[in-house]
Each structure stands twice: as C-alpha cells, then as structure tokens.
Structure 1
Amino acid sequence: MGKIEDAIARMVGHRVYLDTNVFVYFLDRNPDYFSVVAPIIEAIDSGLIIGYTGDAAVAETLVKPYQIGNPALVESVKTFFGMEDFLSIQPHDAETFDLAAQLRAERGLKFIDALHYATAIQAGCKFFLTNDGGIQSSDVLEVVPVKTLAE
C-alpha cells in the first residue's frame, strides 16, 4: 500500500480534524495535493473516517471566493460544508479559545493554528490533517502532514 492508503487505514474509525488547507487543496483541485486529499475526503464522505473541522476553517475557506467576488463559488463552498452526514463542524466556544491561548503560549503556534488544534482536542480527534509545518504532534493528537503523504 502507498502512503495515502496507509494513512487512511490508520485513521479508519477515528475522529480526524481537517485544517483549512485540506479543503482549499480539495476544492481548488490543487495540482500538488488534490490526489492526496481527495481519497481522505472520500473516506470521510463514505463514513470510514469521522471527519471534523471548525467554524474557523469554513470561514478561512470562504475568504478567496469572497475576495474574487464570486457568489456562485461562495455558495458552492457553503454547500460543500453543509452536506448532510459528512463533516462535524465544531463551534469555537470560550473553553476552546482558552485552550487555544494556552497552546499558543506553550507551543508558540500562530493563534489560528492554536484554535484549530484546540478545536481538534475538544472534539476528541486522534489525528490532525494539515500542511502547516508549525503544527506538531502531541500526546493527545497526531499531526499528519499532507506533504509527507505526497512524497
């Protein structure tokens, strides 16, 4: 099996948090990473993997469609995130923001990365799929870098 198949096999049945860049690669059909993230999105859609993300990831994914003034693309992104029985989109409550502040202070993460990390922890995720090199694994959350799956 290849790296992507091995990663999916390890994630089957577990909660996996997807960072914004995963959605951008998928929705933009990024030439470098689409073939990596598409099977993972498909595994979530089929129920093999329990997919999670946060409201912040949805908002970040909407920035470019709003920037370029494309209302059809905005609606397409909203429809993607609104699919039934697909992703669990977590809100960012006071407890999550507090944990994010702690993570930023302790680990030196950018605040948005700390917020994603905290949201993944609060949601009980085992894996965190990202392409952000500043986010590292801990004893509660295993970071899976997209770029390593593409190698």
Structure 2
Amino acid sequence: MEEGNFLKSLNKHRILGIDTSPFIYHLEKNPIFSGLTLRLFELVEKGGVRAVTSILTLMEVLVRPKQLHQQKVVDDYGFLLRTFPNLTLRSIDDGCAERAADLRAAYGIRPPDALQIGTAIVSSATCFVTNDEKLKKVKEIEVLVLKDFA
C-alpha cells in the first residue's frame, strides 16, 4: 500500500489516537516511515483531523534524548507535543484507566498499549495509528499500522 491509501484511511475519521511510534519515527526522520508520518502530522496540523495521544507519549519520546543528555532536544520535543496544532496531549484519568483495564482483560495487551488506546477511545477517537501489528486485534477502534502502508 502507499501514502495515498494511508491518507484515505485517515480521512475517514474526525479524531485520531496516535501511539508513540509515529512521533518517534517523525522526530527521528525514520527512512521507512517518515513519509507516512509527514502526511499524518500535516493532516493534523492543518486541521483535517484532530488527534490525541496520552501523556505516555511525552515520557517515551523523551527517554532517548535524556539518555544522551540532549537537553535542547528534550525541550524541543516537549514543546512540540504540548503546542502542536489540533493535537491533545491527554493525561490519563480514571476513565482512561478503566477503559485500559477493559482492553487488557479482553485482549491481553501490554499496559502502555492499553493506556494509549484507552485514552484514544475515551477521547472519542475512532482510529488509532501505531506500528504494532498485535494491536489489530482490538475491535473497539480501527487500528492502522504504518507497516501496512510502507
């Protein structure tokens, strides 16, 4: 599949949940996936869709720059996630945690994945963008896997 099909799939939705991996691929200019993530984040930035990601994304994208003592990168990534147009960086509340527990009980997915998807669902997202094929088994939300479009 290709970028055009990816955009068509995204455009079926008003609100997207976005996992950490698309952010990392985009920020680190991953040679395989950055074309797709560019389209994704352009669509969000221009208001074609709204997006949500949980606060876990902030933690996960900051780990590598912190390990490398790259404070400017830490500051830049944090600023970007907090201020990106049409993107909500959502804290995990009781509703998100309960939905995550439902997902773990039903599918046995890892806690961070359950929290990310639970946050997306509670935020009214109808699609979750990830690169984890194991999450396709979740039926409460459409799961788009970047590898399927690369």
- TM (normalized to structure 2)? 0.91
Match of 1:4 in 2: 6
Q: 1:84 to 1:21 in 2, by over 3 A?
A: closer
Task: State the distance in 1 between where 2:117 and 2:11 align.
Answer: 22
Match of 1:103 in 2: 103
Task: State the distance in 1 between where 2:129 and 2:110 align.
Answer: 17
Task: State the distance in 2 between where 1:128 and 1:84 align.
Answer: 18
Residue aligned with 1:136, SS? helix
Match of 1:37 in 2: 37
Question: Is the CA contact (8 Å cut-off) linking 2:107 and 2:138 kept in structure 1?
Answer: no
1:31-67 deviation digits (Å, cap 9, x = unpaired): 0100011111000000001111111111111111111
Report the Cα offset of residue 29 of structure 1.
0.4
Match of 2:50 in 1: 50
Aligned residues: 148
Match of 1:146 in 2: 146
Report the Cα offset of residue 98 of structure 1.
2.3
The letter of the residue matching 1:127 is C
Question: Is the CA contact (8 Å cut-off) linking 2:11 and 2:48 kept in structure 1?
Answer: no
Find out whether 1:79 has 2:79 as its counterpart.
yes
Task: State the distance in 1 between where 2:139 and 2:62 align.
Answer: 32
Report the Cα offset of residue 136 of structure 1.
1.9
Q: 1:57 to 1:98 in 2, by over 3 A?
A: same
Task: State the distance in 1 between where 2:125 and 2:108 align.
Answer: 21
Task: State the distance in 1 between where 2:100 and 2:113 align.
Answer: 8
Report the Cα offset of residue 82 of structure 1.
2.0
Q: 1:10 to 1:105 in 2, by over 3 A?
A: same
Task: State the distance in 2 between where 1:43 and 1:90 align.
Answer: 19
Task: State the distance in 2 between where 1:37 and 1:18 align.
Answer: 11
The letter of the residue matching 2:12 is R
Match of 1:131 in 2: 131
**134-143 vs 90-99, which deviates more?**
134-143
Task: State the distance in 2 between where 1:76 and 1:64 align.
Answer: 13
Question: Is the CA contact (8 Å cut-off) linking 2:55 and 2:90 kept in structure 1?
Answer: yes
Residue aligned with 1:140, SS? coil
- TM (normalized to structure 1)? 0.91
